[in-house]
């Protein structure tokens, strides 16, 4: 018979737990980085290092590893790919205005990869979104410098080169850890008839607005000189009336002063003369008869009056 071995579970349990904890710690202490990845190691939120392909050790529980795919990725600008593999046009991103004020539906294929894993992880919340916005801005600011014929034919290479150059400069400034590998024009064609019609309506409205503005400026230019001339005429008329009134007043003052001088020399005669002149003004048809008050016969003075 086999001997009976008694096992003390109370003593064995701590040992088993210790072995399991050690195994877990050892398992979590090593990590592998593939050829297509970089690994960013952090501790308490601070970046310690960036690891390339290989097997590495980390302090368990304290250090964390963030793996980043550094292979080249591609995305469409102006279109998207359905799950079935069919290209779906995105008119919001694909419709551009050209140098000769035409519309063009132009699609690009953008290739990019992560160049700085640390910047990619920590310098922005959505690096791919920023990349897409930079691509759209660069494309629009480039296509506007080409005519619609150039964009659809001979100008594609120049457009691609200029867009890539602008994106490289902008991404270097943004510092989101992504670099452009290549960007190519996939397709360029006139937009749909509905979009062309809407564009023409907008252009017509702009031209109508410019026409109205020009007419308003023309009316303004016509009315301002006329108003200024009328203002000058009113001012000159007022100045003339002012001069006339002053001259009349000065003449009346001179006449009064002359009369006053005569009055001082012969007060009685002057008073009588003023009296007769006043009566002549008030009663121009009155017949004048002169008498000393004691004459019985009155001689007619009509011949002398006329």
Q: How many CB atoms lie within 10 A of CB 133?
A: 13
In a domain, 144, yes or no: yes
Residues 83 and 128 in one domain: yes
CA torsion through residues 39, 41, 46, 48, sign: negative
In a domain, 39, yes or no: yes
Q: Give the pTM.
A: 0.58
Task: Report phi then psi at 69, rounded to 5.
Answer: -75, 125
Residues 142 and 102 in one domain: yes
Residues 120 and 151 in one domain: yes
Residues 185 and 159 in one domain: yes
Residues 27 and 77 in one domain: no
CA pair distance 184, 259, nearest whole angstrom: 108
In a domain, 264, yes or no: no
Residues 55 and 84 in one domain: no
Tens of pLDDT, residue by residue, the chain (306 residues): 445 545 555 565 665 556 555 555 556 678 899 999 999 999 998 999 999 999 898 888 788 899 999 999 999 998 877 676 666 777 778 888 899 888 888 999 999 999 999 999 999 999 999 999 999 999 999 999 999 889 988 999 999 999 999 999 999 999 999 999 999 998 888 776 766 676 677 778 888 888 889 888 888 888 888 888 888 889 888 988 888 888 888 888 888 887 777 777 777 777 777 777 777 777 776 666 666 666 555 555 555 444
**Domain end position, chosen among 142, 175, 191:** 191
**Domain end position, chosen among 67, 83, 109:** 67
In a domain, 180, yes or no: yes
Residues 35 and 116 in one domain: no
Angle at 59 between CA 53 and CA 65, to 5 degrees: 45
Residues 116 and 153 in one domain: yes
CB 189 within 8 A of CB 172: no
Residues 36 and 94 in one domain: no
Query: What does the DSSP 8-state code read for residue 140?
Result: H
Angle at 15 between CA 12 and CA 16, to 5 degrees: 85
Residues 93 and 118 in one domain: yes
In a domain, 113, yes or no: yes
The CATH number for 128's domain is: 3.30.479.30
**Domain end position, chosen among 144, 166, 191:** 191
Q: Residue 169 in 3-state DSSP?
A: helix
Name the helix (H) or strand (E) containing 214. Answer: helix 193-265
Angle at 242 between CA 239 and CA 243, to 5 degrees: 90
In a domain, 54, yes or no: yes
CA pair distance 131, 139, nearest whole angstrom: 12
The four Cα atoms 18, 19, 25, 29 give a dihedral, to 10 degrees, of 150
Quickly list DSSP for 53-97.
Answer: SEEEE--TTTEEEEEEE-S-EEEEESEEE-TTS-EEE-HHHHEEE
Residues 16 and 84 in one domain: no
In a domain, 62, yes or no: yes
Domain range holding 77? 73-191
Residues 62 and 93 in one domain: no
State the total domains in the chain: 2
In a domain, 255, yes or no: no
Angle at 113 between CA 108 and CA 118, to 5 degrees: 140
Retrieve residue 210's tokens: 């410019």
């Amino acid at each position: 018979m086999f001997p009976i071995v008694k096992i003390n579970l109370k003593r064995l349990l701590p040992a088993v737990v210790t072995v399991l904890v050690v195994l877990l710690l050892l398992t979590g202490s090593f990590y592998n980085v593939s050829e297509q990845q970089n690994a960013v190691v952090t501790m308490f939120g601070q970046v310690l290092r960036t690891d390339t392909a290989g097997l590495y050790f980390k302090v368990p529980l304290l250090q964390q590893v963030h793996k980043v795919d550094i292979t080249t990725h591609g995305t469409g600008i102006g279109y998207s790919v359905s799950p079935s593999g069919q290209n779906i046009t995105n008119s919001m991103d694909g419709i551009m205005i050209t140098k000769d004020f035409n519309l063009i539906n132009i699609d690009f294929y953008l290739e990019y990869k992560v160049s700085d894993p640390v910047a990619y992880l920590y310098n922005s919340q959505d690096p791919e979104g920023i990349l897409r916005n930079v691509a759209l801005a660069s494309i629009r600011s480039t296509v506007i410098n080409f005519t619609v014929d150039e964009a659809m034919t001979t100008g594609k290479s120049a457009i691609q080169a200029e867009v890539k150059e602008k994106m490289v400069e902008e991404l270097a400034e943004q510092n989101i850890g992504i670099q452009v590998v290549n960007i190519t024009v996939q397709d360029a064609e006139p937009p749909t008839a509905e979009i062309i019609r809407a564009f023409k309506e907008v252009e017509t409205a702009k031209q109508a607005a410019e026409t109205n503005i020009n007419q308003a400026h023309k009316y303004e230019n016509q009315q301002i000189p006329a108003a200024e001339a009328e203002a000058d005429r009113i001012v000159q008329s007022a100045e003339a009336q002012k001069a006339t009134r002053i001259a009349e007043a000065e003449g009346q003052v001179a006449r009064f002063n002359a009369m006053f001088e005569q009055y001082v020399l012969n007060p009685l005669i002057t008073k009588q003369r003023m009296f007769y002149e006043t009566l002549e003004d008030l009663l121009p048809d009155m017949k004048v008869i002169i008498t000393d008050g004691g004459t019985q016969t009155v001689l007619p003075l009509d011949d002398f009056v006329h």
